[in-house]
Structure 1
Amino acid sequence: MTRVNGTDQAPEPPVLSAERVTLGYGGTAVVHDVSLTVGAGGGVGLIGESGSGKTTLARALLGLLRPRSGAIRYGSRDLAELDRKGWTEFRGNVQPVFQDGSEALNPRMTVGASIGEALQVHHRMDRKERRERIAELLADVGLDAALAERRPHQLSGGQRQRVAIARALAVDPRVLVLDEPTSALDVTVQARILDLLERLAAERGLGYLLISHNLGVVARLCHTAHVMFAGRVVESGATLDLLTRPAHPYTLALRDAVPRIGGEPPKPAGRTEAAPATTGCPFRLRCPFAVDRCQEEAPRLKRVGTRNVACHRAKTVLELSAPGTPVEARRRARLRRSRGLWRRRRRR
């Protein structure tokens, strides 16, 4: 409960939420019993390797897939129960930004026409108002208004992604669902897109659901994160906690697989080629911490410290990743060596 003007009021529900959602294609379930919430003004990360179910969950959150069980909610309303007016409101408040801007934009339409279509449908603007608003939106994402006359193939990859973001912003959404928005871009363009997203979050109070396998991007944009493996959330909590002190072996393996400048090549733990186990813990065939219990009993999410973890050995993993352990000591030493190398090169 919160107090407003001396009276108790119930907290506002999140803009978008999944409640124990299970999803599948045909006879195969690909997402199992997943819950998360996304509110305005905050970033939520969804981390995992290819095939972990991240994009399938995002499609359900956008109303493109119906859950086999559980519920997708917009505010307090189930998407399955929305009427036509409710769907129009939902589409205006929850907008996607897809991975590949060249496929997300119609190649036969100019940039201005793509953005103007959303303005016409949701805001009923006349031609002059649309033209002015398109110029404003392009300026908001750092593009010249003259690009409105070009088609997608005449733009660079970074420009196309900015146009996709401008089109999503055209309807004044409260939440953006970002599916790998920078993975197809080079590093310098990635940095500009991330700067743009940070600025838009600060200026507009936007909420994000960011789907990515890039831990650096998630750490920069998201205050909370969920780690998925084989369609299940295996760890969730504050992003900083997850990435600095993982409590699940999979999160630890993801973090340790990130290359470091000046350090040794990353050495993934366990059998990274092993498929998820069908009994017991799905990660046990890759896990260096697995015990007999992992083969017999599938772990459930439980509170460990500051996060929720689905692992029988969570406390052991958490102790191993704590500051002061040999693993973390080696990590800090590699970082100091890389910083020293950078300073020596700079002095030269």
Structure 2
Amino acid sequence: MSVLSADAVTLAYGAAPVVHEVSLAVDEGGVGLIGESGSGKTTLARALLGLLRPRSGTIRYGSRDLAALDRSGRAEFRRAVQPVFQAEALDPRMTAAASIGEALTTHHRMSRAGRRARVAELLDGVGLDPALAARRPHQMSGGQRQRVAIARALAVEPRLLVLDEPTSALDVTVQARILDLLEGLAGGRGLGYLLITHNLGVVGRLCRTSHVLFAGRVVESGPTRDLLVHPAHPYTLALRDAVPRLGGEPPRASGRTEAAPAATGCPFRLRCPLAVDRCRDEAPEAREVTGRRVACHRAEDVLERALDASRWRGGTGHPAHHIQKGH
């Protein structure tokens, strides 16, 4: 059974829906949620963390409706499902020890000495010198701050991490080290995680399955490697082909990259180079295409284009190849 799942969840701010009937499940291993800014990724993450209530649909922790949990159930949920926000979310007034210790105080009764020992253990576990415990965020690098944020989430021994752009604003070398850390944690602790990002290289490294979100709708979902190597939705293909290839030619644009979502028919049609009259008149339903679910009338044609683009790039086109392991 999944640790956390969404079933036909719609979310809105005021009268305007921003996430439309999204379904997904997260258990052990990594699940990616991919999309550009404004696609609804973070809004969905907030709902999965119990911070927003769906307009319709259900979010479940195990088999239980998250909205119906009693006090003890909510406390269990908050321990089991922990957010890891971007490093900038750390309180600038608090030391690393205070940030991590706050989580320990909230969920565990510990002596001061026990808390200090546990903070040192957690810092060491994410590859930091325990001496950094006395530093505030401005005294640490971006990579160190992100590791502190991960240590804080691990303090309560969760079953699942919800990571919102965990490598944002980090240089490539530091990104690789953070990804190495997350890979090791998943393997060593049996952690599940939901990884929210616009970076296809990150999901290629960490996630077995992924969901691609455009304008609040899942347009493609399935095994991550299939989505990245041979996309079946034009939006997934555009995201993949926007990843620069070291030593190669610049990526090619696919359609109008800045057009707003269409109000009728297929939301992506104003950007799509393959759009036809049917796309204007009929919103596509998700359907099975070569082992994944795709909301596109022309998914088979997109697959052909993906194969052509991979040959043009001179390889598989897998974005994960461009984020190497750290040293």
If the TM-score is normalised by the length of the shorter chain, which range does it land in? Answer: over 0.9
> CA 1:240 to 1:293, structure 2 compared with 1: closer, same or farther past 3 Å?
same
Which residues of 2 match residues 277-292 of structure 1 at below 5 A?
A: 277-292=262-277
Correspondent of 1:330 among 303, 312, 318:
312
What residue number does 2:184 align with?
A: 199
User: Contact between 1:262 and 1:334, CA under 8 Å: does it hold in 2?
Assistant: no
User: Contact between 2:229 and 2:310, CA under 8 Å: does it hold in 1?
Assistant: no
What residue number does 1:26 align with?
A: 14
What residue number does 1:3 align with?
A: none
User: Contact between 2:310 and 2:316, CA under 8 Å: does it hold in 1?
Assistant: no
What residue number does 2:5 align with?
A: 17
1:82 corresponds to which letter in structure 2? L
User: Contact between 1:58 and 1:177, CA under 8 Å: does it hold in 2?
Assistant: yes
2:236 corresponds to which letter in structure 1? T
Give the superposition deviation at 1:107. Answer: 2.0
- Give a deviation string over 1:175-203, Cα, whole Å, max 9, x none: 00000000121111111111110111111
User: Contact between 2:19 and 2:215, CA under 8 Å: does it hold in 1?
Assistant: yes
> CA 1:296 to 1:231, structure 2 compared with 1: closer, same or farther past 3 Å?
same
Which residues of 2 match residues 51-200 of structure 1 at below 5 A?
A: 51-99=38-86, 101-102=87-88, 104-200=89-185
Task: For 1:120 and 1:285, locate their aligned partners in 2 and report how far apart those are by CA, in whole Å.
Answer: 51
Task: For 1:334 and 1:276, locate their aligned partners in 2 and report how far apart those are by CA, in whole Å.
Answer: 30
* Uncovered stretches (5+) of structure 1, i.e. residues with no partner: 1-12, 336-348
2:147 corresponds to which letter in structure 1? R
Task: For 1:56 and 1:310, locate their aligned partners in 2 and report how far apart those are by CA, in whole Å.
Answer: 21
- Give a deviation string over 1:290-331, Cα, whole Å, max 9, x none: 111111110011111110000000111113323xx4x33222
- Bigger-Rg structure (1/2): 1
Task: For 2:315 and 2:18, locate their aligned partners in 1 and report how far apart those are by CA, in whole Å.
Answer: 40
Task: For 1:152 and 1:258, locate their aligned partners in 2 and report how far apart those are by CA, in whole Å.
Answer: 31
Task: For 2:175 and 2:131, locate their aligned partners in 1 and report how far apart those are by CA, in whole Å.
Answer: 23
State the TM-score, normalizing by the size of structure 1: 0.89
Give the superposition deviation at 1:113. Answer: 1.4
User: Contact between 2:30 and 2:193, CA under 8 Å: does it hold in 1?
Assistant: yes
Task: For 2:315 and 2:185, locate their aligned partners in 1 and report how far apart those are by CA, in whole Å.
Answer: 37
Secondary structure in structure 2 of the residue aligned to 1:14: coil
* Uncovered stretches (5+) of structure 2, i.e. residues with no partner: 318-327
Task: For 1:39 and 1:127, locate their aligned partners in 2 and report how far apart those are by CA, in whole Å.
Answer: 34
- Give a deviation string over 1:260-304, Cα, whole Å, max 9, x none: 122221121111121110000000111111111111110011111
Report the identity percentage.
75
What residue number does 1:345 align with?
A: none
Say yes or no: does 1:243 pair with 2:225. no
1:92 corresponds to which letter in structure 2? R
User: Contact between 1:47 and 1:226, CA under 8 Å: does it hold in 2?
Assistant: yes
Task: Give the count of matched residue pairs.
Answer: 317
Task: For 1:261 and 1:164, locate their aligned partners in 2 and report how far apart those are by CA, in whole Å.
Answer: 31
Give the superposition deviation at 1:334. Answer: 10
Secondary structure in structure 1 of the residue aligned to 2:168: coil
Give the superposition deviation at 1:333. Answer: 6.6
User: Contact between 2:35 and 2:212, CA under 8 Å: does it hold in 1?
Assistant: yes
Task: For 1:82 and 1:328, locate their aligned partners in 2 and report how far apart those are by CA, in whole Å.
Answer: 48
Secondary structure in structure 1 of the residue aligned to 2:17: strand
Secondary structure in structure 1 of the residue aligned to 2:314: helix
Say yes or no: does 1:256 pair with 2:252. no
Task: For 1:263 and 1:115, locate their aligned partners in 2 and report how far apart those are by CA, in whole Å.
Answer: 43
State the TM-score, normalizing by the size of structure 2: 0.94
Task: For 1:147 and 1:262, locate their aligned partners in 2 and report how far apart those are by CA, in whole Å.
Answer: 38
User: Contact between 1:14 and 1:37, CA under 8 Å: does it hold in 2?
Assistant: yes
- Give a deviation string over 1:202-259, Cα, whole Å, max 9, x none: 1101111001111111100000000010000000000000000010011111111111
Task: For 1:263 and 1:161, locate their aligned partners in 2 and report how far apart those are by CA, in whole Å.
Answer: 31
1:152 corresponds to which letter in structure 2? P
1:67 corresponds to which letter in structure 2? P
Task: For 1:297 and 1:333, locate their aligned partners in 2 and report how far apart those are by CA, in whole Å.
Answer: 35
What residue number does 2:30 align with?
A: 43
Secondary structure in structure 1 of the residue aligned to 2:248: coil
Task: For 1:150 and 1:264, locate their aligned partners in 2 and report how far apart those are by CA, in whole Å.
Answer: 43
Task: For 1:253 and 1:72, locate their aligned partners in 2 and report how far apart those are by CA, in whole Å.
Answer: 30
Q: Which has the higher contact order (CA 8 A, sep 6+)?
A: 2
Secondary structure in structure 2 of the residue aligned to 1:36: strand
1:298 corresponds to which letter in structure 2? A
